Amino acid sequence: MLAGSAIFGDRNLFLRYQFDPRIFMYHEDDDWSLRVREAGGKLFFIPNAIVKHLGGHSSGRSSDIVRFKAFHLGKSRIFALKKHKRPFPRTRSVALALLNLLSPENFFSAKRRAKNFGFFEGVRQPRKHYDHPYEMPAWMSGVPLWKLKRELARLVRQFLSVPRALYDMYFITPVYDLVHKRKIVQNEGQIPATDRVAIYLIFPKRGLLESHKRSLDYIREAGYAPLVVSNLPLESGDLEYLKENSFRVIERPNVGYDFGGYRDGFFSVLPQIEKLERLVFLNDSSWFPVPGTKNWLLEAEKLDVDYAGAATSFGIRRVPRDRYQSIQWEYDTSLSEFHYCSYALSLGPRILRDQKYHNFWKRYALTAKKNKVVRFGEMGMSRFAIDNGFTHGATYDIASLPEKLSECSDEELNHYAKNMVFLGEWIMKEVLDSTLPLLDASRSPADREEVIRLLMATAARFGISYVLPEFLWDKHKFPFLKKSPVSIYQGDSDKMFNLIKKIGGPDGEIIEGEMAEIRSSRGFVEN
């Protein structure tokens, strides 16, 4: 591989093989060299050519900068190793980082300590991203004993979790298919099957709700045959109702959360996959339909893509919470955590009949950890569709958010900002509590722009489905309303409750009643 400090080549070569923009710093020259070689290009080293490299002079030498650079060295190392399919990229890199941490130099040199800890942070958390040293969490020149104890305890926990991680990765799915799958009960319903099927996953811990029944009506009204998958055993009365209003009802063990249920639902319709024109995945993590909205199932069909979602998350590079003014609204589906939200997905015949997609579900690693469900399920299936060349899109286009916000009045912007939902995250709460009282979109064009950027940055950080429910309903007639904000934090719950009161209507009253029950169970008092 050629060192990036001095590469001489034809201009067309660099236009054809550009540095990977996903690599912020380090290993971009390694990646470039490997791609050129794999394409049949030849790399030459000219030993008698001399280029003087003024090492360490391109940036400062403070411990913060050293740590920042080392973080990206570790992060880029893992990215490059994974990209070029080198074995055990994370394990090898973490092992190297741990060896560096054991070096006696760490006790005598603050910069060496900063470098080794920065590298360790990069390989331990490669999904994090920082554009500037000051974005990184506070760093102390000395390492206190309590911090060493904490890191040691974390390493012990990670070591002890290895057997479980290996089980989840290699054994949980085969064990489920051999043992737990026998516990699945499949009931045929009275609704005839059609060439459009909607797998509707429910978790009826309080029994079958009125909102479940309304969602089933919504599905049938669009010409879809509902296939209900329950992650809990159903009471006899609920089962009979579902059989009357679905073409099939599956009761299964709650293994793998929503993607475990989606998997069983998919294999249930696999024998008729050649006849399907559309297969939809829906779950009860959202209330739908929200009154006054269009039928999403039909809107997804109109996109005419192989893989359609209601919304996306993490397609915009995030910025630190208190640096929201620096947000750059560049929609990028190649970002590592980008995904189509799994509460509403619609798939067309081209992807449904592809054997590689069938294999995705066969090999899907069921997991008992929700963060891994997001990684392997939501992100994994989105990545599968994108990387395999299937057309994809969302009925809500988040790339249009800056334009739509700019069309709002000052009063609307102030209202949306004060009613943002941030899932009770205390750091975000501190930022908003200190920022919102000082902002007024009507005061000046600069203040208006700052409010817009605050809305954009918060939506990019948490996902617009959560952050701006009222904006989505007002401006886009978005038919889904996420449930989790109602139960996490009183302030968010109040905002959601006030919104559904504003929406009203018979369907709104159903949602309002269920919200009131959740709020009561959480001890939230009405303001």
pLDDT tens digit sequence for 106-153: 777 878 888 888 999 899 888 888 888 878 877 544 555 566 667 777
pTM beyond 0.75: the answer is no
Measured over the CA atoms of residue 23, residue 27, residue 32 and residue 35, the dihedral's sign is negative
pLDDT of residue 136: 83
The helix (run of H) or strand (run of E) holding residue 51 is: none
Q: Is the pLDDT of residue 483 over 50?
A: yes
pLDDT-wise least confident of 59-73, 137-151, 243-257:
137-151
Q: Is the pLDDT of residue 467 over 70?
A: yes
Residues of each domain in the chain carrying CATH 3.90.550.10: 175-395
pLDDT of residue 140: 46
Q: Is the pLDDT of residue 58 over 70?
A: no
Q: DSSP string covering 84-115, please?
A: TT-SSHHHHHHHHHHHHHT-GGGGT-HHHHHH
Chain-centroid distance of CA 337 in Å reads 5
The count of other CB atoms within 10 Å of the CB of residue 9 is 14
Q: Which residue has the higher pLDDT, 363 or 169?
A: 363
% of residues, the chain, pLDDT over 70: 96
Q: What is the DSSP letter of 459?
A: H
Q: Is the pLDDT of residue 169 over 90?
A: no
For 205-221, letters b (16+ CB in 10 Å) and e give eeebbebbebbbebbbe
Average pLDDT over residues 447-471: 96
Q: Does domain 175-395 have CATH number 3.10.20.30?
A: no
Average pLDDT over residues 88-105: 87
For 478-487, letters b (16+ CB in 10 Å) and e give bbbbbbebbb
Cβ atoms of residues 398 and 331 within 8 Å: yes
Average pLDDT over residues 64-82: 91
Query: How are strands ordered across the β-sheet holding 344-347?
Result: 185-188, 248-251, 225-230, 196-202, 278-283, 344-347, 307-309, 392-394
Q: Is the pLDDT of residue 190 over 60?
A: yes
pLDDT of residue 56: 58
pLDDT-wise least confident of 59-68, 257-266, 310-319, 431-440:
59-68
The token pair that represents 258 in the structure block: 């929503």
Across the chain, mean pLDDT equals: 91
Average pLDDT over residues 178-204: 94
Strand partners, 60: none
Average pLDDT over residues 462-466: 95
Average pLDDT over residues 103-107: 79
Q: What is the largest CA-CA distance in the chain?
A: 85
